[in-house]
Structure 1
Amino acid sequence: MKKLLYLIVIFATGVGLAVYLTQKPLEKIEDKSDLIKVFNPEPNEKIKTPLLISGEARGTWFFEASFPIELLDERGNSLAIVVAQAKDDWMTANFVPFEATLDFPPSLSGKGTLIFKKDNPSGLPEFDDEFSLPIVFEPQESIKVKAFVNTSKMDPEFSCNKVFPVEREVVKTEAVARAALEELLKGPTRKELAEEFFTSLNPGVKIQRLTVENGTAKVDFDETLQFQVGGSCRVSAIRAQISNTLKQFPTVEDVVISIDNRTEDILQP
C-alpha cells in the first residue's frame, strides 16, 4: 500500500513538473500606472476585432485630446494604428479617461502587442514615452470583400465616376453588403494611402439602414455624407464608390442612396 502511494506521489509530482516546464511565462509589463492605466483589454487577454480599448492617462500623455495606439504582431510588424480620444478635458495633470476602437484582420493568430504612445508634437526624443501591453489574437473565421475607392496612380486625371477595388478582410457574416460598405466608410488604410488610393467620402459617415430586395439595394446615410460636399465631380465620385461597392454582389443590380430618408434633394453639385 505504501509503495502504491509512493508511486502515485512520484507520478503526480512528475506531471506537475512537466506542466510547469511547458508553460510559457507571461511577458513582463513595465509599470507605468502613474502615467497610464489600461482597463480593456487586460494583459495577455485574447482579443477579437473590432476591439474597444479603454483606460485613463495623465493629461500630459495627450495632445489635442488624443494619442496614437499601434498594434504589432509577434515579429514587431505594424498591423494597425488608431487614435485614442479623451473623454473629458485633457488640459490637466490628472488622469483623463480615453477610448478607441481598433480594427485589424480577423484571421490573425499568435501573440501581439498594443503600444500606447504619448503624443509628442515637438518630435524631440527626450519627450517620447510609450506603454506596451501584450495581447493574444483569437482567430475568427473571415471573408474577403471589396471597397471601391479613387486612385491618382491608375487614374491621374481623376475621371470622377471611375473607381477601383481594394480588398479587405472582415469577420464572416451573412450581412456581407453592409460589411463591405462599412469598410468603404472607414477610408483607405495606411498601405492603400501609400499606394495612392483615396476616398471622396467624408469621414464619420454612418449607415442608418440598408436593405436588398428584388435586386435593388437601398441605403440610407446620415447627413455627414453630404456635409460641405460640393462640385459635380465629387458627387459623382461618392455615388460611384457606394454603388460599385454594393454592386460587387450578384444580388445587387441597382442602388438607391438616401440621406435621412430623402432621395431627391441630396448630394447636389
Structure 2
Amino acid sequence: MHNKFLIIACGILLIGGVLAGVFLLACGDDWCFVTKWQKVRAAESFDRCASLGFPVTESYPRQCRASDKTFTETIVPLSSTTVLKGKQMNEKVRLSEPFSHALIKSPLSIRGEARGNWYFEASFPVRLLDANGKELAIVHAQAKDEWMTPEFVPYSAELTFNPPTTKTGTLILRKDNPSGLPEHDDSLTVPVRFALFQSSGGLMRNVDLYYYSAKNDLDASGNAQCTKNGLAPVERTIPSTKTPIQDTLRLFFVGLIEENERQSGISTDYPLSGFVFKSATLKDGIVTLEFSDPLNLTSGGACRAAVLWMQIEATVEQFPEVKGVRFVPPELFQP
C-alpha cells in the first residue's frame, strides 16, 4: 500500500512538473514571467528589452542588455519622409542642424530651410523644452534671403539656454501664425539630448567619423577605386569618458550625416540592419572589435567590403594609442 501511494505521488509530481515546464516555455505574456530566463528569452528588440525592465545604458545610441543579449536603439534621423501631424513636413520646413537626437549645449546653432509661408516678417519662433515640457529658451530664426516666395528659404538662429534639469528635451520649430487660427498652425518637433548630463562634469571632446566620398576616389575613367582616398572625416562632439573608442564607434554606426555633408558627396552604408557592434578592447596598442553579422551584411563584393572596413579602421586609428585594428570574427568584410 505504501509503495502504491508513493508511485501515485511521484506520478502527480511528474505530471505537475511537465505541466509547469510547458507553461513556462509556452507562455509569452508578461504576467506569466516568473523567472529571469523567461524575460531574457522574450527580449527580441531594444524596446522589448527595456519594457521588460532590463538595464539601459546612457550611451548613444542607447543599449539594453538582457543577460548575454544586447540590443541597440534604432535612431531614425529626420529625412524627407518625416511625418508630422499626418503631413509630409519635408514640403514645408527642413532642419539640418542639429539633427535628431543630437547632443547639444549652449549656445546652440540652428540651421535649415523653410518655405516662405512658414515665416512672418522674415522670421519664425524656435522653442527649446526640457523633458518635462518646461521652456528653456525661445529665439526667432531669421530668413537669410528674400522670404516672400513659395520656395525654400534658408534660415539660421543661435539659441542660448540655461542648464536644464533633465537629460533630454525637444526643439520645436513653429510656423509663425499671426492670425492665431488653429488651422494655420504647424510645427516640427525634434528630440535632443543635453550634453551636460552625458558625462561627469559635462566635459566634451571632438572626434572624427570617417565616411566615404566616391567623387574623391575616382580613376581616370571616372570609376570608383574603393581606396582610402575616398575617406572623408566629419567632426562630431561626444562626452569625455573612459571609453572614447567605443563611444565614437557607437556614434559612427548610427550613420547620421548632416545635409551639408551629404550635399558635398559624403555617404555611408551604415547602419546595417542586423549588423551589431558588440565591443572594443585595447591591449598593447591593438584594438579588437567584436561584431555580430549573422546575415553576412559586410560582404557583397570586394569594393563594398573594402569601403565598409576602411571607414571603421580610419575612425579607430585617429586615436594615438591605437597601433592596429583586429576584427572578430575574422570572416567579416570578405568579398
- Deviation string 1:65-105 (CA, Å, 9 cap, x unpaired) is x989xxx9xxxx752343xxxxxxxxxxxxxxxxxxx1234
Distance 1:228 1:219, change over 3 A: closer
* Aligned partner (choices 237, 250, 256) of residue 182 of structure 1: 250
- Deviation string 1:22-57 (CA, Å, 9 cap, x unpaired) is xxxxxxxxxxxxxxxxxxxxxxxxxx996999xxxx
* Aligned partner (choices 321, 324, 328) of residue 251 of structure 1: 321
Alignment partner of 1:186: what SS? Answer: coil
What residue number does 2:171 align with? Answer: 114
Distance 1:250 1:60, change over 3 A: closer
CA contact (8 A) 1:49 1:104 kept: no
What letter is aligned with 1:155?
D
What residue number does 1:164 align with? Answer: 232
Cα-Cα RMSD: 4.2
What residue number does 1:130 align with? Answer: 187
Ranked by relative contact order (alpha carbons within 8 Å, sequence separation 6 or more), the top structure is 1
- Structure 1 residue 234 displacement after superposition: 0.6
Alignment partner of 1:104: what SS? Answer: strand
- Structure 1 residue 246 displacement after superposition: 0.8
What residue number does 2:85 align with? Answer: 61
Distance 1:203 1:80, change over 3 A: farther
What letter is aligned with 2:254?
K
The CA distance in 1 between the partners of 2:247 and 2:295, in whole Å, is 18
Distance 1:174 1:193, change over 3 A: same
Alignment partner of 1:210: what SS? Answer: strand
* Aligned partner (choices 170, 181, 205) of residue 143 of structure 1: 205
Distance 1:206 1:115, change over 3 A: farther
After superposition, residues 1-269 of structure 1 pair within 5 angstroms as 61-62=85-86, 79-82=97-100, 102-106=101-105, 108=107, 110-111=160-161, 114-115=171-172, 129-130=186-187, 139=196, 140-156=202-218, 157-162=223-228, 163-187=231-255, 188-204=257-273, 205-223=275-293, 226-227=296-297, 229-258=299-328, 262-263=329-330, 265-269=331-335
- Deviation string 1:145-198 (CA, Å, 9 cap, x unpaired) is 111111134224433131232211111122111122123212222232122111
Identity rate of aligned residues, in percent?
A: 25
CA contact (8 A) 2:272 2:297 kept: no
What residue number does 1:43 align with? Answer: none
Distance 1:144 1:135, change over 3 A: closer
CA contact (8 A) 2:210 2:315 kept: yes
What letter is aligned with 1:208?
K
CA contact (8 A) 2:280 2:290 kept: yes
What letter is aligned with 2:261?
E
Which blocks of at least 5 consecutive residues in structure 1 are unaligned?
1-47, 54-58, 83-101, 118-125
Alignment partner of 2:304: what SS? Answer: helix
Which blocks of at least 5 consecutive residues in structure 2 are unaligned?
1-57, 63-74, 76-82, 109-159, 162-168, 175-182, 197-201
What residue number does 2:133 align with? Answer: none
CA contact (8 A) 2:286 2:322 kept: yes
TM-score, normalising length: structure 1: 0.52
- Structure 1 residue 233 displacement after superposition: 0.4
More helix by share: 2
What residue number does 1:91 align with? Answer: none
- Structure 1 residue 137 displacement after superposition: 5.6
